[in-house]
A and B are shown apart, each in its own frame.
Chain A
Amino acid sequence: MKGVNHSFGSAPSGIMEPPEVLLPQPDIFARRALRMRELAEQVPPLADFLSFMARMVQAQQQVLDGREPAWRPTPGAFDVALEHGMPPLSAASLRRELDWRADLAALLDALELHVAERQSPLLEALRAKTDDQLEELAELILEIKPGTDADRGLLPFVAAAMQVAWARLALALPRTPERPTGAARSLCPCCGSRPVASVIHIEKDRQGVRYLHCSLCETEWHLERVTCTTCHKGGQLHYFGLDEADGKLALPAQAEACGHCNSYLKIVPREFNASAEPLADDLASLVLDLMLDEQGTYARNGYNPLLIAG
């Protein structure tokens, strides 16, 4: 157990010392794909969509495992950023350095044999894009813009490739960055992106602790429970969940909605299902978004690059 040091000496800190920032695990996409296949069976209205996304996520794992990127940062490249609490993998500054376009090509190859007739034109369209056009799509994702109708169907593929490129760097970071502070508490300490959703873990050293999950580099970082991820207030947090008609819990994902700023982010308590995963469970609980939109009080604050609204 680590102690807390202060000017009067040191004191034991308590029974649990949760890590502040969790870098992604090497099998992140494989576990997500597994969960998506599970959810595809549980949520029939989204079965086709989730099955396809499961294949895409599986392909992400394949690319992450199999491809050695052309560019790797030098060993000390991130020291200054880490020392000064800046996101070392800042999305805006690394976009041109990373060869995520090669990851995209590899991803499309891995998907080739698994796509249905409806989706294969998307692969062709992506292959036909020039580098500049692909960079424009990447910019839409980093700026969280919906793009044109024609582009929108391509964005999830581009985002998936970028996730691989950034997760690869996050995996190789020499040490974890510190947890963001102040107004940046809801932005990824590795790449500065917005979270997809938050997750409550069940492991012994982080039981019941909430982490935000990055939409780009798969890093997770600690944010206190019962704290709004938009305005960081804690007094009026409501949790909306989905019940089946017979009153059984339908899906573990809930919407953590704040009465101060009227925004919500999904929260996935793994207490209900140990294999629950923020990005997959956010996609599968789409009905929750639709119901909250119909109700009209709260606006969504999470960005899931695998489902981009028009």
Chain B
Amino acid sequence: MSVRVSRRSFLKLGAAGLGASSMAMMGFAPEQALASIRHFKLTGSTMTRNICTYCSVGCGMLLYTRGDGAINVIDQVYHVEGDPDHPVSRGSLCPRGAGVLDFINSETRVKYPEVREPFTNEWKRISWDEALDRIARHMKDDRDRNFETHDDKGQLVNRWLTTSMVAASACTNETAYLTQKIARALGMLVVDNQARV
């Protein structure tokens, strides 16, 4: 929904307006207030509404980020609290959700695809393209090898039992729908959701 915003409804309360304001007209000198600007520092933060990633309850969260959205500034989340307006959680968070700040800012947080090749013990960073190609390759090979069209009794089954899918908890209905479509189209029977764990 959009509301027409009229500039007329905004009120100018600046240095110029203050000199002719009711305060000045009532005999209170605005000079001191104007000069006091120098004593203060303007701090900016941004607040964003989000959904907890951890489980299927999907509690509402308010994320506080330092900075005012200016370009070239790397925002850092510094505070998280329950969203009091969220219909499910009404401002409450469980200990795991309330501790999400440490997860967000964790040094070991996984931020990009990595691979640990067979017979090595270190993680290697790879690109998203490479990661997706490799996953697709593995899936294709496995499906080609293990896809069953008929069971022991000769009944048509068209199933792929050797690979399963675990969906994320913080997904919308639309994501869940797509997950289902893709997994079932491939013949996958074992689909689960990490929200259950």
What's the minimum C-beta distance from A226 to chain B, rounded to whole angstroms?
Answer: 5
**How many interface residues does chain B have, given as a range?**
35 or more
Q: Who on chain B is nearest to A47 by CB? A: B32
Determine whether B90 belongs to the interface, using a CB cutoff of 8 Å to chain A: yes
Beta-carbon nearest neighbor of A201 in chain B: B84
- A27 in contact (CB, < 8 A): no
CA distance A208 to B9 in the complex (A): 28
CA gap between A17 and B48 in the complex, in Å: 23
- Chain B residues contacting A286 (CB-CB under 8 Å) are 13, 18, 33
Additional A-B contact list (11), CB under 8 Å, known A290-B15, A310-B17, A310-B24: A119-B26, A122-B27, A144-B9, A149-B20, A152-B25, A182-B1, A183-B1, A208-B81, A241-B42, A302-B11, A310-B21
Q: Does A275 contact B (CB under 8 A)?
A: no
Report if A243 contacts B (CB, 8 A).
yes
Across the two chains, which residue of chain A brings its CB closest to B67?
A238
Chain A minimum-CB-distance residue to B2? A231
Instruction: Tell which of A230, A250, A294 touches B3, judged by Cβ atoms closer than 8 Å.
Output: A230
- B41, A242: Cβ atoms closer than 8 Å: yes
Q: Is the CB of A208 within 8 A of B91?
A: yes
Contact A300 B15 (CB under 8 A): no
Contact of A301 among B11, B26, B47, B49 (CB under 8 A): B11
Question: B85 — which chain A residues lie within 8 A by C-beta?
Answer: 209, 224-225
User: Do the beta carbons of B23 and A299 come within 8 Å of each other?
Assistant: no
Interchain CB contact (< 8 A) of A294 among B14, B23, B82? B14
**CA distance in complex: A198, B25 (Å):** 27
Q: Is B36 an interface residue (CB 8 A)?
A: yes
- Contacting B21 at CB < 8 Å: which of A15, A152, A232, A293? A152
Please indicate the chain B residues that have their CB under 8 angstroms from the CB of A152 in the complex: 20-22, 25
Taken together as a complex, chains A and B put the C-alpha atoms of A240 and B45 apart, in Å, by: 7
A113 within 8 A of B: no
Among the listed B5, B47, B90, which residue makes an inter-chain contact with A14, where contact means beta carbons less than 8 Å apart? B90
* CB of B53 within 8 Å of the partner chain: no
Given A232-B1, A239-B47, A299-B7, A309:B17 Cβ within 8 A? yes
Given contacts A208-B91, A242-B42, contact A309 B10 (CB under 8 A): no
Residue of A nearest to B29 (CB): A48
Q: Are B47 and A293 in contact (CB under 8 A)?
A: no
* B25 → A minimal CB distance (Å): 3
Q: In the complex, what distance in Å separates the CA atom of A259 from the CA atom of B69?
A: 9
Interface 1/0 per residue, B29-66 and A, CB below 8 Å: 00011111101111111111100000000000010000
Residue numbers in B under 8 Å from A226 (CB-CB): 47-49, 62
Q: Beta-carbon contacts of A200-243 to B below 8 Å, as 1s and 0s? A: 00000011111000000000000011100011101011111111
Contacting residues, chain A, for B22 (C-beta < 8 A): 152-153, 155-156, 306-308, 310
User: B87 at the A/B interface (Cβ < 8 Å)?
Assistant: yes
Task: List residues of chain A with CB within 8 A of the CB of B15.
Answer: 290, 293-294
A205 to chain B, nearest CB (A): 10
Complex CA distance for A236 and B69, rounded to whole angstroms: 8
What's the least CB distance linking B176 to chain A, in Å?
21
Q: Which of A230, A247, A294, A306 contacts B5 (CB 8 A)?
A: A230
From the candidates B45, B84, B92, name the one contacting A225 in the complex (CB within 8 A): B84
Q: Return B50 CB to nearest CB of chain A, in Å.
A: 10
Q: Nearest Cβ in chain A — how far from B64, in angstroms? A: 8
Please indicate the chain B residues that have their CB under 8 angstroms from the CB of A182 in the complex.
1
Q: In the complex, are the beta carbons of B45 and A238 less than 8 A apart?
A: yes
Q: Is B89 an interface residue when CB atoms closer than 8 A count as contact?
A: yes
Q: Are B14 and A290 in contact (CB under 8 A)?
A: yes
Q: Is the Cβ of A244 less than 8 Å from the Cβ of B33?
A: no
Cβ contacts A to B, 6 pairs, < 8 Å:
A208-B82, A226-B49, A237-B47, A300-B12, A310-B16, A310-B17
Chain A neighbourhood of B5, CB < 8 A = 230-231, 261, 263
Please give me the 4 A-B residue pairs with the lowest Cβ-Cβ distance, nearest first.
A310-B20, A293-B14, A153-B25, A118-B27
Instruction: Give Cα A119 to B48, complex, Å.
Output: 46
Interface residue from A119, A149, A238 paired with B68 (Cβ < 8 Å): A238
Q: Are B84 and A240 in contact (CB under 8 A)?
A: no
A232–B1 CA distance with the chains assembled, in angstroms: 8
Q: Does A274 contact B (CB under 8 A)?
A: no
B135 within 8 A of A: no
